[in-house]
């Protein structure tokens, strides 16, 4: 299992990535929330030597495949082959109201998007004509002036990973992607009953070997050195679970535990802006399923028991900030890298 961190804002990305590498982590991921996900990786790249750097995730559809192809190519060049392009579709409301782009058939569109990316990269790699015509994207013009410099031979393959919650997106990852980003709101029951079978079905459909689409997860952790710290961490994680569980598209995760009714109530309270009421709906049983909670030693034990042999890459959900309390990150290292 590979152990990763999540990077926060661009201003601290270089120091955080350098420190994470020194501690023994394998990779660092950025998210597209309040900031661009690509810029922190460009900042971190020259300050690391072995750490993989990837987006988890960048929202695909607001960017044309050619734009994303250039970003990925340049980051792959800067990292010497350590970049991983993670893409996601987001949900309808965000696409239409936040990004201002159309929403239609996200699964088929993402499949076409990935095929377009790879066609563009192949044209650049082989110095060949670009002739891609898909269901959603067409790229048929690539003059020499607009082709980037070649990548080093060891870096010509750019991994593409995707985020998925519903069965069809997990199956798509198995068919065409180099990894699946599991939503932070997840449980072992959901992983075993929904994610793993869907990915396996996709691998089978595409004739790909087992292990070709590793599972990548970030884990909500609430821990502390004393009861006061632990209580504050639990309250924060409870609010995070409430926020994610209020999204109707994620109801499939709750359904694995029979909590669809709570999800519907969370959605109603979210529309009213009742954040405190939302947090109050998250039971201790939900926290136990969706987060790792306890003292540092309890967290270490639970991480090992819950995820060993189930996922391939794992990160603490909270951003890695070297000047902050790194107890959750050290617990992760302790759980899986006892000899480091």
pLDDT tens track for 44-63 = 999 999 999 999 999 999 99
Q: What one-character-per-residue DSSP string does 38-102 give?
A: SHHHHHHGGG-SS-EEEES-EESTTS-HHHHHHHHHHHHHHHTS-EEEEEE---HHIIIIII---
- pTM of structure: 0.96
DSSP state of 152: P
Both structure tokens of 159: 């991994």
Q: Please write the tens of the pLDDT for every residue from 238-272.
A: 999 999 999 999 999 999 999 999 999 999 999 99
Instruction: Tell me the mean pLDDT in the region 101-117.
Output: 97
Q: What value does the mean pLDDT of the chain take? A: 96
Looking only at the bridges linking them, the beta strands covering 180-182 and 215-222 are parallel
Instruction: Tell me the mean pLDDT in the region 281-290.
Output: 98
**In Å, how far are 58, 113, 176, 212, 297 from 106, measured between CA atoms?**
15, 10, 15, 23, 42
User: Please, are residues 28 and 319 in contact by the beta-carbon 8 Å criterion?
Assistant: no
């Amino acid at each position: 299992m590979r152990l990763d961190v999540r990077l926060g804002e661009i201003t601290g990305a270089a120091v955080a990535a350098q420190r994470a590498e020194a501690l023994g982590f394998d990779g660092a991921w950025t998210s597209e929330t309040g900031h661009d996900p690509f810029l922190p990786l460009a900042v971190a790249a020259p300050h690391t030597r072995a750490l993989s750097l990837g987006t988890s995730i960048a929202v695909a559809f607001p960017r044309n495949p050619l734009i994303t192809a250039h970003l990925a190519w340049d980051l792959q060049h800067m990292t010497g082959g350590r970049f991983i392009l993670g893409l996601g579709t987001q949900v309808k409301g965000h696409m239409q109201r936040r990004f201002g782009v159309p929403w239609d058939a996200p699964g088929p569109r993402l499949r076409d998007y990935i095929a377009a990316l790879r066609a563009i990269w192949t044209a650049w790699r082989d110095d060949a004509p670009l002739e891609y015509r898909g269901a959603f994207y067409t790229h048929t013009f690539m003059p020499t002036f607009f082709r980037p410099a070649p990548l080093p031979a060891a870096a010509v393959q750019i991994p593409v990973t995707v985020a998925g919650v519903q069965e069809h997106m997990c199956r798509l990852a198995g068919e065409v992607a180099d990894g699946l980003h599991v939503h932070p709101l997840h449980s072992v029951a959901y992983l075993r009953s929904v994610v793993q079978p869907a990915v396996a079905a996709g691998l089978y459909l595409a004739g790909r070997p087992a292990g070709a689409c590793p599972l990548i997860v970030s884990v909500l952790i609430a821990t502390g050195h004393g009861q006061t710290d632990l209580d504050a961490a639990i309250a924060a994680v409870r609010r995070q679970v409430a926020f994610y569980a209020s999204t109707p598209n994620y109801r499939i995760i709750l359904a694995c535990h029979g909590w669809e009714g709570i999800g519907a109530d969370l959605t109603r309270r979210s529309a009213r802006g009742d954040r405190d009421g939302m947090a109050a709906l998250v039971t201790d049983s939900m926290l136990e399923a969706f987060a790792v909670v306890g003292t540092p030693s309890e967290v270490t034990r639970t991480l090992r028991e819950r995820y060993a042999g189930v996922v391939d890459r794992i990160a603490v959900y909270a951003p890695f900030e070297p000047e902050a309390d790194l107890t959750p990150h050290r617990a992760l290292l302790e759980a899986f890298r006892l000899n480091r």
